Amino acid sequence: MNIALARSVVGERLRLLAERMSFVTSRLKGMAHGESAEKCTPDHCAIQVDSDDEIGDSTRAFNQLIEALALSIETETAVRTFTEMLVSELDVHQLTEQALALLLQHTGADGGAILIEADGEIRVAASQGIGSAHLLANNDRVRSALRTERRHMVKLPEDLVVDGMLAQFRPREVVIDPVLHKEVVLGAVVLASGQGFSAEDRNRLDVFERGLALALHNALLYHRLQTLAALDPLTGAYNRRFGMARLREEFQRAVRLNLPLGILMFDIDYFKRINDTYGHLAGDRVLARVAKTARSVLREGDVLIRYGGEEFIAVLPAASLHDLEYVSERLRHMVEDLVLMDGDQAIRATVSIGATAYPDTDVEDDTALVDRADKALYTAKSGGRNRVVVT
Ligand SMILES: Nc1nc2c(ncn2[C@@H]2O[C@H](COP(=O)(O)OP(=O)(O)OP(=O)(O)O)[C@@H](O)[C@H]2O)c(=O)[nH]1
């Protein structure tokens, strides 16, 4: 009788355990073929512990196994998502924004930033949940982490508050990790948590950051190559091919947003004579100086293009004809005042400028805008040079 009772009670529980094990096994096999992990969380797969004997111990051990499996699956899924994003993104801005979002989602951080170091300068590439992220670039602890190439953990509030961490939450722990690729520092990841980071969070952070370093390296390299391919080496202006593509984009944007768009076309006067008198190298220096002068007159979002030999186009988003007149005259005066020394000889140059703007003039596309500026430049040249014609 006792044996029969024991068999029915014990047997029932063992059967449940066996059933769950086989369910978990089938879920794991399914996941290996790409099925979702959702149905095997501890909620679905754990067994209620209702005795304090060997069977209870086995059930508890089973539940712990399920929890460990769930955590490992969650980490694996997170790493896979992160890696997929990293390998498909070459835009530095997009890459850092998305990487930071995933880091926050999977490491228990409530806010953070990704910083990039280039040419001795540190800048914030992405930030989330932090009050004044820009302060991080000059923060001593961040600089120290970059210099020593080692992780810095800051416990708050016992420790000093990290500038820039005055966030929408009250941070208890901050981690500052240099991002290194082949022993070269590319930047840093700064994460802050209101709860503090667990050992699991830190392990995940390590795995994520290894992938991030490689992806960031690729994206920075790609950006550098893109820039090099787009720029004219002598003047630093966009070359004609890339420059005209930028003009087209700006024109489409102006039409879409109903904003003005101005362009100036300018050309150094009697440049052949400068080359003939002082030599081609001196001519090159004049070209570079004129381009530099133009950049100093233009604003940050304006685009300078080397259109031909000694001919440039400047694209000024949101500039009206009135703005163009002002900018053109300023450029003309500044070039006229330039003196470039070649030994004891002073080289001077002037420019002629043709300017026009959409929608002040009824042009239908970027090509028509350039044609119109070209005609204005021709009028400036034939009117005596060193002058501005706005049309
Ligand atoms: N030094 C140097 N000269 C260049 C470069 N590209 C074009 N040039 C020269 O620029 C000169 C342009 O001459 P032209 O088109 O006759 O024009 P210009 O002498 O400036 O006369 P206007 O434009 O009518 O005032 C030519 O001698 C080209 O060889 C360059 O990269 N460096």
Give residue-wise pLDDT tens across range 287-315.
999 999 999 999 988 999 999 999 999 99
Judge if the beta carbon of residue 279 lies within 6 A of ligand 1. no
- 41, two tokens: 């969380």
pLDDT category of residue 157 using cuts at 50, 70 and 90: low
Q: How confident is the model at residue 39 (pLDDT cuts 50, 70, 90)?
A: low
Is this prediction's ipTM beyond 0.90? yes
pLDDT > 90: what percent of the chain? Answer: 55
Tell me how far apart the alpha carbons of residues 328 and 333 are, in angstroms, rounded to a whole number.
9
Distance 310 CA to ligand 1 centre (A): 6
User: Is the confidence at residue 158, as pLDDT, over 60?
Assistant: no
Mean pLDDT to the nearest integer, 259-283:
96
| Distance separating the N- and C-terminal Cα atoms of the chain | 109
**Quick one: pLDDT at residue 135?**
87
Residue of 175, 142, 143, 170 whose CA lies nearest to 157: 170
List pLDDT tens digits, range 7-38.
Answer: 777 788 788 888 888 887 887 777 767 676 66
Is 380 near ligand 1, meaning CB less than 6 Å away? no
User: What local confidence, expressed as pLDDT, does residue 114 receive?
Assistant: 95
Higher-confidence residue: 179 or 70? 179
> Percentage helix, strand, coil, to 5, in the chain?
55, 20, 25
Q: Which residues neighbour 239 within 8 Å (Cβ) at sequence distance 6 or greater?
A: 230, 231, 232, 305, 306
Is the pLDDT reported for residue 381 higher than 60? yes
Q: What is the pLDDT of residue 263?
A: 98
CA of 147 to the centre of ligand 1 (A): 49
**What is the distance in A from the centroid of ligand 1 to the CA of 342?**
18
CATH of domain 92-230: 3.30.450.40
Q: What is the pLDDT of residue 160?
A: 47
The identity of residue 204, as a single letter, is R
> Does the C-beta of 271 come closer than 6 Å to ligand 1?
yes
The domain limits of the chain are 2-86, 92-230, 240-390
pTM value surpassing 0.80: no
Cβ atoms 114, 92 nearer than 8 A: no
Q: How far apart are the CA of 115 and the centre of ligand 1, in A?
A: 44
**DSSP 8-state assignment for residue 165:** -
Q: Which atom of ligand 1 lies at the shortest distance from residue 275's CA? A: 1
C-alpha 376/C-alpha 121 separation (Å) is: 42
Catalytic one among 310, 325, 329, 336? Answer: 310
240-390 has the same fold as 92-230: no
- Nearest Cα to 103, choosing from 134, 133, 127, 73? 127
Distance CA 388, CA 137 (A): 44
Alpha helices in 33-53 (DSSP H): 42-45
Tens of pLDDT, residue by residue over 204-248, are 888 888 889 999 999 999 888 888 889 999 999 999 999 999 999
CA 152 vs CA 174, 175, 219, 328: distances in Å:
8, 6, 25, 52
Which protein residue's CA is at the shortest distance from atom 31 of ligand 1? Answer: 309
Pairing of strands 261-268, 351-358: antiparallel
Give yes or no for residue 238 CB within 6 A of ligand 1.
no
153 Cβ partners below 8 Å, 6+ apart? 173, 174, 175, 176
Pocket probe mutation, ligand 1, options 310, 347, 379, 385, max atoms within 8 Å of Cβ: 310
Ligand 1 neighbour 272 (Cβ under 6 A):
yes
Q: Ligand 1: does its nearest atom lie under 6 Å from the Cβ of 232?
A: no
Active site residue 310: yes
DSSP letter, residue 310: S
With b for 16 or more beta-carbon neighbours within 10 A and e for fewer, the 80-92 pattern comes to eebbebbeebeeb
Amino acid 187: pLDDT: 94
Distance CA 367, CA 23 (A): 67
Find out whether 154 and 174 touch, Cβ atoms under 8 Å: yes
CATH annotation of 240-390: 3.30.70.270
What pLDDT score was predicted for residue 177?
94
Would the pLDDT of 181 be above 70? yes
pLDDT, tens digit (0-9, with 9 covering 90-100), for 95-146: 999 999 999 988 889 999 999 998 778 999 999 988 788 888 888 889 999 9
Q: Is the CB of 268 under 6 A from ligand 1?
A: yes
- Write out pLDDT tens, residues 55-98: 888 888 888 888 888 777 777 777 787 888 777 788 899 999 99
